[in-house]
Amino acid sequence: MLRLVFILFIGLSFLASAQSAEHSIKVAIPVILQLRIQDAVSADFSVPLEIQETDTGLELSQSKTRLEVLANTSWQLQVKVQAKDLPFRLRASSSQASVDLTAYPQVLARGEATAGWQDLPIYYDLKNQSVLHGQKHYQIEVYYFLSQP
């Protein structure tokens, strides 16, 4: 009787192993890179800055922009301006870097996957404020680009 149970067990085990198989499954997770600009009405990830000449020099319309990043992969934030031949230097700074803004994109911040929206304040600063060319008002668009490195 014990022999019969053993043979039956071995036979069922053989049948079960003959019916099992291995399958490879590939899962593709899409890359998520999203950028939000707080208090911005633009849909093209730009921030308008106005620079006004005053009696004491040049004055920025705002000194800070609050960005937010959502990513499930490593990312980099680039910045550039839509202006040519400015008679002063405009700088943008994050907690990671400071760059002189030009018409060419420059990396301002980098990061890894975020756990929700990550706050990223950007500060603006003017250099060479005494260099004026008779223009009383400058309008500049600052553009932000989020991409994978």
pLDDT digits (tens, 9 = 90+) for 77-124: 999 998 766 777 889 999 999 999 999 999 999 999 999 999 999 999
Write down the pLDDT at residue 108.
Answer: 96
Q: Which CATH number covers residue 48?
A: 2.60.40
What is the count of structural domains for the chain?
1
* 15 in a structural domain: no
- Residue of 51, 55, 148, 136 whose CA lies nearest to 107: 148
* 74 in a structural domain: yes
Q: Of residues 4 and 24, which shows the higher confidence score?
A: 24
pLDDT digits (tens, 9 = 90+) for 31-80: 999 999 986 655 678 888 888 877 777 788 888 999 999 999 999 999 99
Q: Which domain holds residue 129?
A: 33-147
Q: Of residues 135 and 17, which shows the higher confidence score?
A: 135
* 82 in a structural domain: yes
Write down the pLDDT at residue 139.
Answer: 86
